[in-house]
Chains A and B, each alone.
Chain A
Amino acid sequence: MSPKAESQGASGNRDESRTGDAAARAEAGHQQDQSAPSGAPGADLDFESLDLTIETVEERISPSETNVFDK
């Protein structure tokens, strides 16, 4: 198995510090999830600037698995 990467909705390359901020927000959100969330969900998210890249892993067969008879 190996992948095929696809990107959807990418906002381009973001610098790592902003990604780190998002990670922190995500973590904070995780904490909130465990208690009582306040405010409208997603109200603090700026969808225009978020990195919404999706990397998918499409099944890909290798030489070792293509001629598989009926295995």
Chain B
Amino acid sequence: MTPLSAHEFPVLLAFPPQGHWTQPHLALPSLLAWLRVHGYDAAQQMDLSVEAFDHFLSRPYLERAKAKATARLQLERLQSATSLGLGDARAWRAGVEAAVSADAVIERIEEAKSVVRGQDSDSDAERGFWDPDRYLPAVRTLYHGLRLVSAAHSPSELTPHNFTMRYSNDRSEEVLAASLDEDENPFLAFFREQVLPRIVAARPRVLGLSVLYGSQLVPALTLGRLVKAALPDCHVTAGGGYLAYVGKKVLGAAGVEACLDSIVFHEGEAPLLALCETLRACGDAPGVALRADLSTVGSLGWFDRREGGARATFNLPAHPIKLDDAPAPDFDGLPLEKYFSPRLVVPYDVNRGCYYGECTFCTLPTVIGPGYRTRSAETIARHTLELRDRYDTTHFNYITDCMPPGLLQELPERLIALEAGITWWADARVEPKAYTPEGTRLLYESGCRKLLFGFESASKRILKMMMKGQSLRSVEEVARNCAAADISVTFYAMVGFPTETREEARATLEFLEKCAGVVREVSLQTFHIDEVALTYREPERFGLRILDDPGADLALYHDYEADSGMTQEEAAQMFEELMASFRQNLPLFNGDNVFYFMQKSHYFLHLAGTPERAAETPASFETRLRGRRETRLARVADGGVRTRAGLASTPLTFSYRAAIELLAHPLARAARPDFLTGRYVGDAEAAAEARLPRLTPKASVLVYDGASAEFVELRPDGLAVLRALQQAGSLEALAAHASAAGRQRLETFATELLRLGILLPAADTLMPPARGARDSSRHASRTHESEPESQHVPQS
């Protein structure tokens, strides 16, 4: 049989959950463009991460999740317990949140999605996305929707930025078990019901899975297993940053051959093309692809099945591509309307690797590698304009470890000369000669609105150990020049570098506090050691002893003991201390404003503006956020307060606040891997359970307001007052018989609830009624805020 031509050969690239949700990731569009310029016109791509978020955050799915959560969590048993340990506290929290918020979240989920996506109005100026009082409740509603999804699969937890299960990512046995767990792996049913039929219909000969983060590992293997069972002649390969670290271990683990056929290491373009060429040449007779000789495909690890069984085999590295010859990424086929953002911010890689490449903690250039390569300013500008016109957007995220100084001069000049009319943001390295007052003004004129610098520490000793090659003076100078040009500055910072003391970490904090008003965001991380890092290869140089866990056959990150400085646990505590300061001193971290930090492109879009809406400066945006609550409080003086329709409440036998504090403890957090590394300490859950105090009973009430999407814990007295206020109709009427002291306490209580959005100014609304509510007689009386209040007494 004649092999298919390249343009007929079906290749499918898929981005498994859980990954980016506000914008598409660059990986698959880069690979797709490369395949298509080499003739693979039938290649397609799917973002299953954003599809899953969209599917889960829908009324029908959440209705099912509510029922499943109710059955699964057995809240009555937990509520009647005499005390709760960590695991039970996690389930109890999920149960009470679901009990009090599920109906409101279900009712408002579609409206919330439309607000965050900018699909709630034809007029850009009227879109709720731009109004914090509408945007923040909408984002919270989405987060709470995912909590309901998580409750249905407890103890698994899916957030916009992470997916974790009780299984360890460090152990192949657990990872494979997770891929088969019908109760706790929400992606199993999603893939089988929503995705697999489409893949089977497309009959790809190659399925490529992009695994950038630890949070994608289990879902990727889940999908790979399903596809291999349904389409035995489809070659399932995977690649991406996370597998660049642990791929060799993954292929060496028993059982993975049921989920994957190969793994591409490092840069994917050339190996993926070679893989397709080789498989295409094999023809399409049944079983041929499975037994193909793939030994000539560079940078590939694969299961050699030619002699029966599956022998993990690793080929020599492929030559890197010449980046400047690579095409612009191709976003065709991605569900652009489903990303949780009103505007597409196009990711585009200006270079790969790092021109500096000396930092002792950083291994990113290794996994993106090999080597450092850049596109020319001419190519970048040309591709930018192509993408601008093709996708009708003027917003770009230039993907780079750091912009080299020469490009920082040439690229802005070209963009300005071409009248590109774009806005962009990027990571950057502190280069005093580039970020001068003139240089930063040029950058702003070219559209630069935000730069993220690797600051890391204010300790000269630590900076020297890190080999950062930058002085604090230059850091401050660069940041001030950017701020003066209205470019928002973010600092990456690190706590817990080997031998770092508390005092040194606090010196970093003091420096950052001094920079408030210049530095708008701090992206703080705790230090950890991967197997590629210098700190792992030469631990004695840093005074470290690496702790190996022989059972963790997929381990990427390692625990360690240090001769001096903070322990890992102390570093985790210091993280909390720094974050507490940021919440105080950085407006973007204060209260729920932090959602702007966490949805990075959303803050950027405020700085970028749109054709219909003027851009804001970092300072003016912060001022607007600061004024938000004061404005609301000022309105109360005029007309008093009123209760909201649709407040829901549920009685608690334990304190909600105490439960959340317990779950936020560093020991409790250590039991859950983070999204990037998937690091999971095997016995952390048991250790935390043993060391942390148990929750003891306390009568309380959890109130949820669907409009503000706020959880608030009251004492039963507080709920009684809320109900009385609802009956009385006004604070004045309720306080008519109160003493002066009682009236004062009542007003304090009401003012705080007003600040939280649980109560409303007498003549005000925060958010229009949910669209879905207009069609739902069942819920209508709980959402129309204009209706008489007497029917809306908070109910359990």
A residues sitting closer than 8 Å to B (CB atoms) are 1-6, 8-9, 11, 14, 16, 19-20, 22-23, 25-26, 29-30, 33, 37, 40-43, 45-48, 50-71
Contact = CB atoms under 8 A, between A and B. Distances in A.
A71 B712 contact: no
10 contacts: A2-B661, A3-B657, A47-B738, A47-B742, A52-B721, A54-B753, A55-B655, A58-B591, A70-B22, A71-B21
A2 B718 CA distance: 23
B728 A68 contact: no
A5 B724 contact: no
A2 B668 CA distance: 11
Interface of B: 19-23, 143, 159-162, 345, 347, 397, 492, 523-526, 572, 575, 579, 583, 591-592, 594-595, 597-598, 600-601, 651, 655-657, 660-661, 663-664, 669, 672-676, 699-701, 710-721, 723-728, 733-739, 741-743, 745-746, 748-749, 751-753, 756, 793, 795-796
A47 B162 contact: no
Contacts of A14: 715
B526 A33 contact: no
Nearest to A8: B752
**Residue of A37, A58, A71 with most chain B CB atoms under a 10 A cut-off:** A71
A24 B742 CA distance: 21
B475 to A, nearest CB: 19
B64 to A, nearest CB: 24
Q: What DSSP secondary structure best describes chain A's contact surface? A: loop
A63 B672 CA distance: 11
A45 B721 contact: yes
B656 A64 contact: no
> Counting chain A CB atoms within 10 Å of each CB, which of B523, B595, B720 scores highest?
B720
Given A1-B143, A9-B748, A9-B749, A71 B674 contact: no
Given A9-B745, A19-B699, A65 B720 contact: no
A8 B23 CA distance: 40
A64 B717 contact: no
Nearest to A28: B720
A26 B523 contact: no
Nearest to B748: A9
B735 A47 contact: yes
A59 B793 contact: no
A41 B590 CA distance: 37
A19 B742 contact: no
A43 B745 contact: no
B657 A55 contact: yes
A70 B664 CA distance: 23
Contacts of A60: 579, 583, 594, 664
Contacts of B492: 67
A23 B509 CA distance: 45
Given A2-B661, A71-B20, A53 B718 contact: yes
B397 A70 contact: yes
Contacts of A9: 745, 748-749, 752
Contact of B664 (A19, A56, A62): A62
Contact of A68 (B161, B572, B749): B161
A5 B657 contact: yes
